[in-house]
Structure 1
Amino acid sequence: MTGSPRTPWFWTWGWPGVHGLLAAAAGARRVYLVEPEPVLRIAMEIAQANGLQDRVVALQGE
């Protein structure tokens, strides 16, 4: 993990799938999120909470 002990992980790495979720919210027909499995679950929860699950395809990366 990078950053100082007081730096939250999301400031260093970014929110899970944020660019893909923003693209879907902006009207993209289909967005592919390629994230590690734990992050992917969070990103899909965010997509579902915002009604974007029909536009977001989740692919597990390394």
Structure 2
Amino acid sequence: MLPELEESGAADSEPIVSAAQRVLELTDPSGVANGKYLVDARQAKGVQVGDHNVQHNTFS
């Protein structure tokens, strides 16, 4: 999460989170219905979120 977003408290504000979810529902209803925006990256390494990404990782 962006430090500015975390510091502002917006991520914990129910009205702001609800408004953001509504924007997603209006702009990409099929993506929302398919779970496109439900991302859990806890304990992930080398993560990209989005469409049409290319990433090459080498972990040792």
Which is higher, the Rg of structure 1 or of structure 2?
A: 2
Q: Higher helix proportion, which one?
A: 2
Query: TM-score, structure 1 length as denominator?
Result: 0.31
Structure with more relative contact order (C-alpha pairs < 8 Å, separation 6 or more): 1
Q: Higher strand proportion, which one?
A: 1
